[in-house]
Structure formats: C-alpha cells, structure tokens
C-alpha cells in the first residue's frame, strides 16, 4: 500500500527510461544517431566561412583598418571578418567538447541519457540561435560564444550521452554499438554542409548571404531530431543481458574486466593516461591531415590533377577552380572513409580485441604516412588518395573504438564519465595536429622548399607521433586489483545514484524501490510459471517502430552519402 503512494521519478530521470524486458535494443542506436548526426555538423562549419567573410563588402571583402584595436574589431559592423577569426569557432568547438565532456561526464551517469540529450539539444541549437543573432548584428564575439562555447558544451554532452547506454545494451558487441553511434558524428557534416549550402542559396539576397536565416532553420531542424533522439533513449534494467550471452572468460582475455573502476580512481591509473596518449596521438595525426586535405592535394599535384605537367603556382584562375573541385571530391571521399572507419574498425575490434586493433592503426599508419612522400614525388595521384583514404578510416575508427577499450579496462559502471575525461585528449589533438601540419608547411615554404614537397617532412613527423602512440598502446595492461571497486562499493554507488535523482529521505527511497520492484517483477502464484515483467512506462516494441526509427536517421544519411559520392566522382572523371 505504501509503495502505491510513493513519489514517482521525474520524467527526465534515469529511472523513467528503464526499458521493459522485451524491449528491442536495436531501437537505441537510432536515438544516438539522431543526436550525433546533428552535432556532427561541427565538422561542416567551414561551409559558412566564405559567405561570412563577405557580408559587408560583398564579392570583394572589406578589411578592417590595421589601426583598429582587437576589442574594437570584435564589435565593428562596417568591415568584414577574416576567415582566420571565423576559424576560432572550429577550435572552440573541440576545446569545449572535450572539457564539457570531462566536467559533465559524472553528472551524465547519474542523470541518465535522456536528460543529457535534452541538455545537448538546448545548448547546440541555442548556440546556433545566438550565432544567428551575432551574424544579423555583425558581432563575431556572439558567434564564438554561441556556437563555439555554448554549442561546444552541447557537443560534449551529446557526444558522450549514448556511450555508456549503448555499451550496457550491447555487452556482446561493444565496438559495433559505439561505432554505430559515433559514426553519426563523422557523418553529420555530409548532411549538414550540403543542406546549409542549399538553404543559403534559398535565403540569399543582394544584401545578405542568408547565413543567419540558415542558422535559425538548422536550429529548428536539429532541435526536433535531437529531442526525438533524447526521448528515444532507454537504459536496460539492472542485471539485463542479451539472450544467450555468456561473458568471455577472464583467462581468455585478461584486458576485458567484469569488475568496475570508480571515475575518481580511473584517471589516476597509468592505464588512463596511456589510453589518453593513444587517443591524442592517433587523433593528432589524422585531424592535422583532415584540416589541410583540400589545399594539400592541390599543392602537391597541381596541374597533374587535370592532365597538365605544371605546378600549382603556374595554374591560371580557371585551372585552379578545376582542381579545387577535384580537391572537394577528395575531401568528400575522406568524409566517407571517416564514417566507414568508425563502424568498420569498431566492429572489427569485437573480433580482434581493442589493443590489437589500435596496434594495427599505429603500425599500418606509420607505414602509410612514410609512403606518402614517395607517392607524391612519383605523381601517383590514385595511390596518394588511396593511402589517405585508409589513414582516415583509422582516424575515425580510433574514436569509435576507444569507448569500448575503456569499458574493457575499467568496466561499464563509470565508462561514460571516464570517456568524458579522456576526450580532453581530443581537445589537445585538435590544437596539436593542425598546428604541426600548418607550421611545418609554412616553415618549409619560407626556406625555399618547393610547394609540392612542403608536406614531406610533415608526413614523417606524423609517422613519429604514431610510433609514440604504438608504444603507449603496447604498455597498456589490466588494472591492478587495488583499483577495482568491491561488490559492496558498486552496490552503494548504484544506491546513491537513485537517491540523488529521487532526492527523498531514506524511508521514501525504500518505498520507491519497492514500487519499482512491484512494477517490473510481478510475483508468480504457486504452481504457475513466472509472470513476465510489466513493460516499463513508455517502452516500445514491434517491427514498425524499428523500421521508422532507422528510416528517420538512415534517409538523411543516405542523402548525404549520395551527395558526397557525386562530388567524389570528380576525382576519377
């Protein structure tokens, strides 16, 4: 009786997302994809740089006077923004993605993915609206704060929101599950960039490039998808496991633990910092190349891309436009490889093991980076493109494999929060990789190195980063026993999580636990078979919801792939 009057958890609480026993776990990845495909537009923000750099001057940008101070330039409305200034938005994205993931990771574990997903939607889409106002008023600081800072926080929350949930739903396929979700982050730009380009062409007028209107439209579309994804999240009940699943014996794979390390302990272990180095070094090598993919192909091969045996500097304006279109196809191909690597390599890691998969990344990557200068010198465009295609699959695969690697080493109880702190490696790599590539290139050009050879030393430096990453990966060992939580500590942690969400005294909390037990595990009468657990509130079942959920995220993704393939065709036509 008492349990019947116990307070029910709030709609946004983790307890309200507990799924029914018959819930189809394949409904969870589309929810994660709905969020990741939206926040993945961060990779495609460069589509706005040129239009935003010509708002005042039109076809010929109007530069701010050199005598104008820094703060005066921030609020100036009568001169155009430099692309280098706009590019700080991109840097802020990944700095705040990593830092917010680290700060809010523990909160996410107790609050649940639904609340985190909704918070991500508000930050990401609210940031776009602030940016729209900044563009309308021509205040670049509003763009930085709106999309860069607030939007960056939304990126961090949205990026890690499905990780621990998916790992718990797919203990038998950890790599596949995280690959499916994180694939969306790599694919977001394939949808968002061409969509933004079309929206700007619709909204453009002689006095406006249509950017602020595009921001508002994207905010509305993304908010609808992200809210739907957040509300679609479900978490498995305690002790749930897939039918027929048997955890692998510890003796067969000592790196896969069935115990748990607390968040506050995990980051103090050598394993955490070795994996931090593994992610940072793998990402630094890949992100530096991604940021310079288009100019690199053009400068290395120049006229050879259109059948002329001349360098980049000898091309006329029309010829440069031709090779720029081909380079755009190269960039599109790398985007596809980024996505394919996230799902492909992460799935393969379920068979190879996480440590072996990363060893492949580093050894193969080292060979490929070292081979690129020879392909460039020999004018072998197809080989050059193929080498980078494989490299970028491993860049994407590294992102998708690391959550499963963390779950193997530290257990699943705090994996979302641990993953959040590890993403500070991404923030570091987002600065280190591009700085290395850009600085070495500028240094080479300043010292008279031919433009087509300016990237050779860079490739060897990136190969050196991968060698360091290989050493970090080989040093990873299972955690020592002293780091693991006892069964009593794990139980206490779960008890505390519920208490924090319900926020009631001990007696009411006990009543609530009785209520949950009665709702989900009805007792069987003597002599009768056990009664099936009552479905959790809001559970979904059946084939139709599964089809609708996957169509909702699959259709726009397929459209993005198709558009990218059309651009990529320029490489081979």
Query: Which domains does the chain possess?
Result: 10-63+70-242+551-573 (1.20.1250.20), 253-480 (1.20.1250.20)
Element holding 90 (H helix, E strand): helix 83-111
Say yes or no to pLDDT of 244 above 90.
no
Summarised one tens digit per residue, pLDDT across range 469-491 is 999 999 999 999 899 988 777 77
Percent of the chain with pLDDT over 90: 37
Q: What is the pLDDT of residue 520?
A: 41
* Residue 30 pLDDT grade (very low, low, confident, very high; cuts 50, 70, 90): very high
Residue 515 has pLDDT above 50, yes or no: no
Q: Which pLDDT value is given to residue 348?
A: 93
Is 409 a residue whose pLDDT tops 60?
yes
Three-state secondary-structure class, residue 79: coil
Whether 90 and 431 have beta carbons less than 8 Å apart is answered as no
Cβ(183)–Cβ(343) below 8 Å: yes
3-state secondary structure 343-402: HHHHHHHHHHCHHHHHHHHHHHHHHHHHHHHHHHHCCCHHHHHHHHHHHHHHHHHHHHHH
Task: Give the residue among 302, 287, 296 at the shortest CA–CA distance from 456.
Answer: 296
Task: Give the least confident one: 1-10, 173-182, 337-346, 462-471.
Answer: 1-10
Residue 184, pLDDT > 80, answer yes
Distance CA 144, CA 86 (A): 8
Nearest to 473 by CA among 254, 250, 280: 280
- Enumerate the β-bridge partners of residue 18: 235
Handedness of CA 115, 117, 122, 127 (dihedral sign): positive
The confidence band for 442, taking pLDDT boundaries of 50, 70 and 90, is confident
pTM: 0.79
Q: Tell me which long-range contacts 136-141 makes (C-beta under 8 A, separation of at least 24).
A: 136/212, 137/77, 138/55, 138/56, 138/76, 138/77, 139/74, 139/75, 139/77, 140/74, 140/81, 140/85, 140/86, 141/74, 141/75
CA distance 201 to 62: 22
Q: Is 382 exposed, middle or buried (0-12, 13-18, 19+ CB in 10 A)?
A: exposed
The encoded tokens of residue 188 equal 């977001």
pLDDT for the residue 1: 41
């Amino acid at each position: 009786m008492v349990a019947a009057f116990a307070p029910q958890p709030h709609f946004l609480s983790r307890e309200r997302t507990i799924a029914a026993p018959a819930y189809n776990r394949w409904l969870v990845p589309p929810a994660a994809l709905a969020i990741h495909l939206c926040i993945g537009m961060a990779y495609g923000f460069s589509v706005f740089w040129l239009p935003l750099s010509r708002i005042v001057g039109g076809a010929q940008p109007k530069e701010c006077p050199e005598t104008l101070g820094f703060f005066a330039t921030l609020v100036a409305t009568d001169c155009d923004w430099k692309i280098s200034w706009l590019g700080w938005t991109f840097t802020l994205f990944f700095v705040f993605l990593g830092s917010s993931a680290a700060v809010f990771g523990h909160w996410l574990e107790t609050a649940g993915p639904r609340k985190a997903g909704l918070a991500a939607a508000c930050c990401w889409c609210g940031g776009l609206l602030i940016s729209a106002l900044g563009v309308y008023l021509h205040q670049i600081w509003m763009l930085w704060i709106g999309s860069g800072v607030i939007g960056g926080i939304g990126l961090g929350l949205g990026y890690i929101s499905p990780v621990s949930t998916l790992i718990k739903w797919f203990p038998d396929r950890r790599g596949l599950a995280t690959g499916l979700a994180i694939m969306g982050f790599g694919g977001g730009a394939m949808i968002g960039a061409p969509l933004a380009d079309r929206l700007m062409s619709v909204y453009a007028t002689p006095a406006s490039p249509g950017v602020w209107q595009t921001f508002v439209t994207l905010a509305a579309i993304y908010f609808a998808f992200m809210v739907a994804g957040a509300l679609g999240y479900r978490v498995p009940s305690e002790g749930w496991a897939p039918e027929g699943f048997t955890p692998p014996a510890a003796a067969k794979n000592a790196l896969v633990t069935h115990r748990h390390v607390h968040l506050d302990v995990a980051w103090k272990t050598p394993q955490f910092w070795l994996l931090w180095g593994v992610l940072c070094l793998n990402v630094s090598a890949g992100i530096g190349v991604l940021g310079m993919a288009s100019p690199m192909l053009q400068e290395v091969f120049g006229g050879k891309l259109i059948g002329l045996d001349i360098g980049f500097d000898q091309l006329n304006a029309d010829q440069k436009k031709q090779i720029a279109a081909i380079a755009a196809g190269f960039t599109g191909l790398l985007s596809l490889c980024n996505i394919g690597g996230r799902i492909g390599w992460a799935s393969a890691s379920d068979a190879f093991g996480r440590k072996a998969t990363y060893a492949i990344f580093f050894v193969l990557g080292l060979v490929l980076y070292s081979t690129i200068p020879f392909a460039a010198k020999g004018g072998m465009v197809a080989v050059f493109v193929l080498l980078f295609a494989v490299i970028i699959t491993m860049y994407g695969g590294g992102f998708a494999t690391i959550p499963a690697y963390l779950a193997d080493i530290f257990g699943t109880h705090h994996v979302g929060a641990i993953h959040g702190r590890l993403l500070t490696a991404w923030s570091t790599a987002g600065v280190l990789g591009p700085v290395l590539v850009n600085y070495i290139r500028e240094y080479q050009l300043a010292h008279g190195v031919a433009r087509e050879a300016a990237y050779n030393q860079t490739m060897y430096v990136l190969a050196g980063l991968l060698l360091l990453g290989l050493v970090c990966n080989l040093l990873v060992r299972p955690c020592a026993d002293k780091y693991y939580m006892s069964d009593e500590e794990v139980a206490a942690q779960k008890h505390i999580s519920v208490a924090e969400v319900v926020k009631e005294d001990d007696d009411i909390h006990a009543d609530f636990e009785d209520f949950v037990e009665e709702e989900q595990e009805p007792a069987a009468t003597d002599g009768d078979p056990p009664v099936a657990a009552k479905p959790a509130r809001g559970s979904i079942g059946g084939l139709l919801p599964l089809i609708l959920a996957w169509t909702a995220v699959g259709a726009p993704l397929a459209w993005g792939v198709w558009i990218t393939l059309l651009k990529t065709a320029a490489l081979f036509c």
